[in-house]
Structure 1
Amino acid sequence: MEATPGRHVIDDQIAQGDKVVTRLTATGRHERDLPGPLPATGAELRETAVAIHRVADGKIAEHWSNRDDLGLMQQLGVIQLPGT
Protein backbone atom coordinates (compact mmCIF):
# COMPACT_ATOMS: atom_id res chain seq x y z
CA MET A 1 0.00 0.00 0.00
CA GLU A 2 1.45 3.39 -0.98
CA ALA A 3 0.32 5.14 2.21
CA THR A 4 2.07 2.65 4.49
CA PRO A 5 5.05 1.11 2.70
CA GLY A 6 6.65 -1.70 4.62
CA ARG A 7 6.66 -5.46 4.67
CA HIS A 8 4.69 -8.56 5.56
CA VAL A 9 6.32 -11.34 7.56
CA ILE A 10 4.78 -14.81 7.68
CA ASP A 11 4.80 -15.90 11.32
CA ASP A 12 3.13 -19.30 10.77
CA GLN A 13 1.65 -21.13 7.80
CA ILE A 14 -0.29 -24.39 7.82
CA ALA A 15 -1.81 -26.28 4.90
CA GLN A 16 -4.36 -29.05 5.11
CA GLY A 17 -6.50 -30.36 2.29
CA ASP A 18 -7.43 -27.46 0.02
CA LYS A 19 -6.88 -24.74 2.68
CA VAL A 20 -3.79 -22.70 3.62
CA VAL A 21 -3.84 -20.67 6.84
CA THR A 22 -1.28 -17.89 7.30
CA ARG A 23 -0.62 -15.83 10.43
CA LEU A 24 1.31 -12.70 9.54
CA THR A 25 2.61 -9.39 10.83
CA ALA A 26 2.64 -6.28 8.64
CA THR A 27 4.88 -3.34 9.51
CA GLY A 28 5.35 0.03 7.85
CA ARG A 29 5.40 3.80 8.24
CA HIS A 30 2.33 5.98 7.66
CA GLU A 31 3.85 8.16 4.90
CA ARG A 32 0.81 9.22 2.84
CA ASP A 33 -2.81 10.09 3.54
CA LEU A 34 -5.29 7.26 4.02
CA PRO A 35 -8.98 7.45 3.09
CA GLY A 36 -11.14 9.09 5.68
CA PRO A 37 -9.19 11.41 5.38
CA LEU A 38 -6.35 10.30 7.64
CA PRO A 39 -3.37 12.60 7.06
CA ALA A 40 0.07 11.01 7.13
CA THR A 41 1.45 10.83 10.68
CA GLY A 42 4.90 9.35 10.06
CA ALA A 43 4.06 6.76 12.72
CA GLU A 44 5.58 3.29 12.67
CA LEU A 45 2.69 0.84 12.36
CA ARG A 46 2.33 -2.85 13.18
CA GLU A 47 -0.71 -4.99 12.41
CA THR A 48 -1.30 -8.71 12.83
CA ALA A 49 -3.62 -10.77 10.65
CA VAL A 50 -4.77 -14.28 9.80
CA ALA A 51 -5.57 -15.20 6.19
CA ILE A 52 -7.19 -18.38 4.92
CA HIS A 53 -7.03 -19.35 1.25
CA ARG A 54 -8.85 -22.17 -0.49
CA VAL A 55 -6.86 -23.50 -3.42
CA ALA A 56 -8.45 -25.19 -6.44
CA ASP A 57 -6.61 -26.27 -9.59
CA GLY A 58 -3.42 -24.61 -8.32
CA LYS A 59 -5.09 -21.18 -7.93
CA ILE A 60 -6.60 -19.26 -5.04
CA ALA A 61 -10.35 -19.85 -5.33
CA GLU A 62 -11.46 -18.15 -2.10
CA HIS A 63 -9.89 -15.87 0.49
CA TRP A 64 -10.90 -14.87 4.02
CA SER A 65 -8.93 -12.67 6.42
CA ASN A 66 -9.12 -11.16 9.86
CA ARG A 67 -6.91 -8.16 10.70
CA ASP A 68 -6.39 -6.18 13.88
CA ASP A 69 -7.91 -3.00 12.45
CA LEU A 70 -8.82 -1.70 15.93
CA GLY A 71 -5.16 -1.84 16.93
CA LEU A 72 -4.19 -0.09 13.70
CA MET A 73 -6.74 2.70 14.29
CA GLN A 74 -5.34 3.14 17.82
CA GLN A 75 -1.81 3.46 16.42
CA LEU A 76 -3.04 6.11 13.97
CA GLY A 77 -4.72 8.04 16.81
CA VAL A 78 -8.19 7.63 15.26
CA ILE A 79 -9.57 5.63 18.18
CA GLN A 80 -8.71 5.90 21.83
CA LEU A 81 -10.19 3.33 24.20
CA PRO A 82 -11.23 4.43 27.69
CA GLY A 83 -8.47 4.00 30.23
CA THR A 84 -5.66 4.03 27.68
Structure 2
Amino acid sequence: MTTIKINERTKTGKAFMAMFEAFFKGVDGIEIIETDSKKIKKEESPYNPEFVKMILDRDADIKSGKSKCITIDPDDIWGSLGLK
Protein backbone atom coordinates (compact mmCIF):
# COMPACT_ATOMS: atom_id res chain seq x y z
CA MET A 1 0.00 0.00 0.00
CA THR A 2 1.20 3.52 -0.84
CA THR A 3 0.00 6.72 0.81
CA ILE A 4 -0.03 10.01 -1.10
CA LYS A 5 -0.69 13.25 0.75
CA ILE A 6 -2.36 15.96 -1.34
CA ASN A 7 -3.21 19.46 -0.15
CA GLU A 8 -6.67 19.96 -1.65
CA ARG A 9 -6.57 23.69 -0.90
CA THR A 10 -3.86 24.40 -3.48
CA LYS A 11 -4.44 24.86 -7.20
CA THR A 12 -2.28 21.83 -7.98
CA GLY A 13 -4.00 19.70 -5.35
CA LYS A 14 -7.45 20.58 -6.69
CA ALA A 15 -6.35 19.77 -10.23
CA PHE A 16 -4.85 16.45 -9.13
CA MET A 17 -8.03 15.45 -7.26
CA ALA A 18 -10.20 16.36 -10.26
CA MET A 19 -7.97 14.29 -12.56
CA PHE A 20 -7.88 11.41 -10.08
CA GLU A 21 -11.66 11.31 -9.77
CA ALA A 22 -12.10 11.51 -13.55
CA PHE A 23 -9.67 8.69 -14.36
CA PHE A 24 -9.82 6.36 -11.38
CA LYS A 25 -13.34 6.60 -9.91
CA GLY A 26 -14.70 3.09 -9.54
CA VAL A 27 -11.41 1.39 -10.41
CA ASP A 28 -10.85 -1.67 -8.25
CA GLY A 29 -7.87 -1.33 -5.90
CA ILE A 30 -7.73 2.50 -5.83
CA GLU A 31 -9.77 4.53 -3.37
CA ILE A 32 -9.80 7.85 -1.53
CA ILE A 33 -9.81 7.15 2.19
CA GLU A 34 -10.21 10.67 3.59
CA THR A 35 -10.34 14.24 2.33
CA ASP A 36 -10.00 17.51 4.26
CA SER A 37 -13.24 18.80 2.79
CA LYS A 38 -15.18 15.93 4.41
CA LYS A 39 -13.59 16.10 7.88
CA ILE A 40 -15.75 18.86 9.41
CA LYS A 41 -19.47 19.03 8.77
CA LYS A 42 -21.81 21.83 9.79
CA GLU A 43 -23.28 19.68 12.56
CA GLU A 44 -19.82 19.29 14.12
CA SER A 45 -19.15 22.99 14.74
CA PRO A 46 -16.67 23.57 17.57
CA TYR A 47 -18.62 26.67 18.67
CA ASN A 48 -21.40 26.86 21.23
CA PRO A 49 -24.64 27.19 19.22
CA GLU A 50 -26.12 29.70 21.70
CA PHE A 51 -23.07 31.95 21.36
CA VAL A 52 -23.18 31.77 17.55
CA LYS A 53 -26.90 32.65 17.54
CA MET A 54 -26.30 35.60 19.87
CA ILE A 55 -23.51 37.00 17.67
CA LEU A 56 -25.51 36.51 14.46
CA ASP A 57 -28.57 38.18 16.01
CA ARG A 58 -26.49 41.18 17.12
CA ASP A 59 -24.91 41.38 13.67
CA ALA A 60 -28.37 41.38 12.05
CA ASP A 61 -29.53 44.11 14.44
CA ILE A 62 -26.50 46.26 13.59
CA LYS A 63 -27.02 45.81 9.84
CA SER A 64 -30.74 46.65 10.08
CA GLY A 65 -30.05 49.73 12.21
CA LYS A 66 -31.84 48.42 15.31
CA SER A 67 -28.62 48.48 17.31
CA LYS A 68 -25.24 50.15 17.28
CA CYS A 69 -21.92 48.37 17.09
CA ILE A 70 -20.90 46.36 20.12
CA THR A 71 -18.32 48.02 22.35
CA ILE A 72 -16.05 45.43 23.93
CA ASP A 73 -14.09 46.21 27.06
CA PRO A 74 -10.70 44.46 26.72
CA ASP A 75 -10.56 44.04 30.50
CA ASP A 76 -13.99 42.33 30.62
CA ILE A 77 -14.65 40.69 27.24
CA TRP A 78 -17.24 38.17 28.46
CA GLY A 79 -19.09 40.82 30.45
CA SER A 80 -19.17 43.09 27.38
CA LEU A 81 -20.88 40.32 25.45
CA GLY A 82 -23.40 39.70 28.24
CA LEU A 83 -21.97 36.29 29.07
CA LYS A 84 -21.05 36.83 32.73
TM above 0.5:
no
Class of the TM-score when normalised by the shorter of the 2 chains: under 0.3
* Larger helix proportion of the pair: 2
TM-score by length of 2: 0.23
Larger RCO (CA within 8 A; separation ≥ 6): 1
